[in-house]
Amino acid sequence: METLMVAVVFMVVLIIALAFYFKFSLDSIEESGEEACLVSNTVLLVSVSSVPEIQCSINGKTENCIDTSKLIVFDPSRVYGSMFTTNCDQKVYFEQIYPEPENGTCDQNNYPDCGIFEFYDPDVSYSSSIKISTPTSLYFPLTEEYKFGKLVIEVLL
């Protein structure tokens, strides 16, 4: 009988120890996943700005800017869909900073009097997000103007 009681107590202690071990292991894995997500989206930040379909080109020469007229009509999910479905969901958009725009999201009806050019939106629900961004030059070919903007990747958590 004593042997049975010792075995039961040993099993209970073992189960409690394993529960704590797996809980801390799971927390560590989740933290590593979030770090991997942020690193991959930092790389994505550089990759999106070098997509040839949205870069400025004047007389066949590529410039270091983003052509906003191309952003309006380009659908990245057709060609670059796998680039956005790596580790985590993200929303990618270009935002005009200066001069401050009058209207919000751009479409073919309010272009060029707008300030946010959606590039990729996964249409998923999320509770929080982390934004990473980099400055960029936005070119408006209709008015032949360059404006200050930023490329924003919003990592959806």
pLDDT, tens digit (0-9, with 9 covering 90-100), for 140-154:
998 899 999 999 999
- Mean per-residue pLDDT, 117-124: 88
Task: Report the amino acid identity of residue 94.
Answer: F
The CA distances from residue 13 to 10, 21, 36, 61, in Å, are 5, 12, 35, 70
> What confidence score (pLDDT) does residue 11 get?
95
- Cis preceding-peptide flag for 112 (omega within 30 of 0): yes
Q: Using CB atoms within 10 Å of the CB of residue 50, give its burial: 0 to 12 exposed, 13 to 18 middle, 19+ buried.
A: exposed
Phi, psi for 61 (deg, rounded to 5)? -100, 125
pLDDT of 62-72, one tens digit each? 888 999 999 99
> What confidence score (pLDDT) does residue 86 get?
67
pLDDT of 15-39, one tens digit each? 999 999 999 888 888 888 788 888 8
> What confidence score (pLDDT) does residue 124 get?
83
Q: What percent of the chain has pLDDT over 90?
A: 37
Say how many domains are in the chain. 1
pLDDT band at residue 94 using 50, 70 and 90 as cut-offs: very high
Provide the domain limits for residue 95. 2-156
- Residues 77 and 120: beta-carbon distance below 8 Å: yes
> What confidence score (pLDDT) does residue 52 get?
87
Render the burial of 95-127: b for 16+ CB within 10 Å, e for the rest: bbeeeebeeeebeeeebbebbebebbeeeeeee
- Residues 138 and 66: beta-carbon distance below 8 Å: yes
pTM of the entire structure? 0.78
Query: CA dihedral defined by 78, 68, 106, 129, rounded to 10 degrees?
Result: 70
Element containing residue 27 per DSSP (H, E): helix 2-49
Whether the predicted pLDDT of 119 surpasses 70: yes
